[in-house]
Amino acid sequence: MSETIYDVIIIGGGPAGHSAALYASRAKMKTIILDKSKTAGALAYASLIENYPGLEKPLTGKELLEVMHKQALSFGAEYKEDVQVIGAFLGEAIKQVFTMDATYQGKTVIIATGSMGRKASIKGEEAFLGRGVSYCAICDAAFFKGKAVCVLGNSEEAVKEAGVLARFAETVYLISPTPKLKVEDDYPALAIPNIKVLLGKTVSEIVGSEAVEKILMKGADGESELALDGVFVYLSGSKPIVDFLQGAVELSEEGCIITNAAMETNVPGVLAAGDVVCTEARQVIVAAAQGALAALAAEKHIFGRKKAKVDWHG
Ligand SMILES: Cc1cc2nc3c(=O)[nH]c(=O)nc-3n(C[C@H](O)[C@H](O)[C@H](O)COP(=O)(O)OP(=O)(O)OC[C@H]3O[C@@H](n4cnc5c(N)ncnc54)[C@H](O)[C@@H]3O)c2cc1C
């Protein structure tokens, strides 16, 4: 575990996380963003953003995210990509946030993981979770050394994760529900010889006894099956991403994080912002505004202020 104690640990690098990082680092708080992937959040999926103020011309979601990223980092925020948070202890004054290979300590935590999660919806997916089904290649790839696995999805994140798995597994089937992947044909991972791409196929069932043994698929050419040991699901959905919290903060019945108007959760020093919270409008401007409020609440928590201190030039 690192000795560093951050003032603010931000989980998630979308507009909510970056706006929180901008406010927190500009207020001279030691701030880090832990981000699973720059391409996995909702904003990265948006092909064109026209309704975020200040844009001279429409930008793709990725372009807008890059602007936010540079701005936040220019005030000193640290950023770590390819780090999926898998657990957290939030109840003490110094909170701990866990990734596969590190533990981060912070006085406050801002949860900004968005709502691109999905319910287990493939037959067998839930039953074989932890017995061949996984949502984290970096966490579980080593268990599949020399074996055959598949990655389900068509996003850049799915392709990237197939690349991680290809270092361990003998064969990685990248199975896309669409006839085309959402990356260029010359994307580096696609040239890895043990990655085999299957396009336009939907997995209808994951089958096995003690562990995963095969999958059943449907495509334009009818039904087929594939023997393999692991299924890594990277299909996106619209469920708030809160699994790593394991009940540590209060959620609504719909599974979103409940906050007050200052973006405080029920746990002191734990804030949440963006699509992961219970919100009427899932929009970039809302996520960014909530990120700013969360950072102000973090500062209030650390410095024991009665009210959030707004920082502006006169
Ligand atoms: C196709 C599409 C089009 C859209 N168009 C518009 C539009 O035109 N205008 C508009 O205002 N809004 C639009 N939206 C909505 C907008 O993109 C979202 O409201 C906004 O991105 C939410 O921001 P966020 O920071 O809460 O979450 P996200 O943008 O989803 O970012 C979440 C971040 O958290 C990271 N993360 C997730 N889990 C973990 C974990 N366990 N550990 C570490 N990091 C993690 C992800 O990698 C990601 O970087 C669109 C959304 C989609 C999907």
Per-residue model confidence as pLDDT tens digits over 212-231: 999 999 999 999 999 999 99
Question: Which residue among 80, 113, 241 is best mutated to probe the pocket of ligand 1, counting the most ligand atoms within 8 A of its Cβ?
Answer: 113
The range of the structural domain enclosing residue 44 comes to: 5-117+238-303
Indicate whether 71 and 200 sit together in one domain: no
The answer to whether residues 228 and 245 belong to one domain is: no
Q: State yes or no: pLDDT of 179 exceeds 90.
A: yes
Asked, for residue 124, whether it belongs to a domain, the answer is no
Residue 51: inside a domain: yes
Q: Is residue 11 part of a domain?
A: yes
Digit-coded pLDDT (tens) for 32-49: 999 999 988 999 988 899
Distance CA 250, CA 245 (A): 10
The residue type found at 45 is Y
First-to-last alpha carbon distance for the chain, in angstroms, is 42
Same domain, 30 and 113: yes
CA distance 19 to 128: 38
Average pLDDT over residues 242-247: 95
Report yes or no on whether pTM surpasses 0.75.
Answer: yes
Q: Over the chain, what is the mean pLDDT?
A: 95
Q: What is the pLDDT of residue 202?
A: 97
Kindly state the helix (H) or strand (E) to which residue 18 belongs, with its residue range.
Answer: helix 15-26
Cβ atoms within 10 Å, residue 179 = 11
Same domain, 10 and 62: yes
Query: Ligand 1 center to residue 300 CA distance, Å?
Result: 26
Six-digit token pair at 188? 């580096």
pLDDT for residue 280:
83
> What pLDDT shows up at residue 283?
93
Pair of tokens at residue 180? 């085309």
Q: Could you report the per-residue pLDDT of 148-178, keeping only the tens digit for each? A: 999 999 999 899 999 999 999 999 999 999 9
How many A from CA of 115 to the centre of ligand 1?
A: 7
Residue 272 predicted with pLDDT over 80: yes
Q: Is residue 122 part of a domain?
A: no
Distance 14 CA to ligand 1 centre (A): 5
Same domain, 206 and 252: no
Is there a single domain that holds both residue 145 and residue 105? no
pLDDT above 90: residue 147: yes
Average pLDDT on 182-193 reads 95
Counting from 1 in the atom list of ligand 1, the atom nearest the Cα of 86 is 41
CATH number of the domain encompassing residue 216: 3.50.50.60
Q: What is the pLDDT of residue 299?
A: 97
Does pLDDT of 264 surpass 90? yes
59, 284, 286: residue to mutate for ligand 1 pocket, most atoms within 8 A of CB:
284
Closest CA to ligand 1's atom 19: 283
Q: Please tell me whether residues 106 and 249 are part of one structural domain.
A: yes
- Same domain as 138, residue 80: no
On the question of pLDDT at 192 being above 90, the answer is yes
- The packing angle between helices 61-74 and 15-26, to 10°, is 20
- For residue 113, the one-letter residue type is T
pLDDT of residue 237: 85
Cα of 188 vs centre of ligand 1, distance in Å, is 25
Three-state DSSP at 123 gives strand
Last residue of a domain, one of 233, 251, 283: 233
Q: Are the CB atoms for 258 and 266 separated by under 8 Å?
A: yes
Residue 236: pLDDT over 90: no
Q: Whose CA is nearest to atom 2 of ligand 1?
A: 46
What was the pLDDT predicted at 29?
A: 98
Ligand 1 atom 48: residue of nearest CA: 41
Task: Determine the average pLDDT of the residues in 16-37.
Answer: 97
Domain end (from 171, 203, 233): 233
Pairing of strands 133-134, 230-233: parallel
- Using CB distances shorter than 6 Å, the residues near ligand 1 are 11-17, 34-37, 40-43, 45-46, 49, 51-52, 84-85, 112-114, 116, 241, 244, 274-276, 282-285, 287
Residue 61 Cα: closest atom of ligand 1: 17
Give the count of beta carbons closer than 10 Å to the beta carbon of residue 1: 9
Would you state the pLDDT for residue 307? Answer: 77
Task: Give distance in angstroms: CA of 104 to centre of ligand 1.
Answer: 23
Q: What is the pLDDT of residues 106-143, one digit of tens each?
A: 999 999 999 998 888 999 999 999 899 998 888 889 99
Q: How many helices (H) and strands (E) does the chain have?
A: 6, 15
pLDDT score for 171:
98
Residue 101 belongs to a domain: yes
Q: Is 62 exposed, middle or buried (0-12, 13-18, 19+ CB in 10 A)?
A: middle
Beta partners for residue 270, in sequence order: 109
C-alpha span between 165 and 141 (Å, rounded):
5
Whole-angstrom distance, CA of residue 145 vs CA of residue 137: 12
3-class secondary-structure state, position 203? strand
Q: What spacing in Å lies between the alpha carbon of 61 and ligand 1's midpoint?
A: 9
Residue 264 lies in a domain: yes
Query: Does residue 107 sit in the same domain as residue 159?
Result: no
Whether residue 246 is found in the same domain as residue 108: yes
pLDDT at 95 over 90: yes
Query: What's the CA-to-centroid distance between 275 and ligand 1, angstroms?
Result: 7
Cα gap 255→178, rounded to integer Å:
29
If you ran DSSP here, which 8-state letter would residue 144 be given? G
Q: Are 188 and 251 members of one domain?
A: no
Give the chain's length: 314
Domain boundary pick from 207, 233, 259: 233
Separation of CA 279 from chain center: 18
How many Å apart are CA 213 and CA 190, to the nearest integer? 25
Does residue 190 sit in the same domain as residue 111?
Answer: no
Tally of domains within the chain: 2
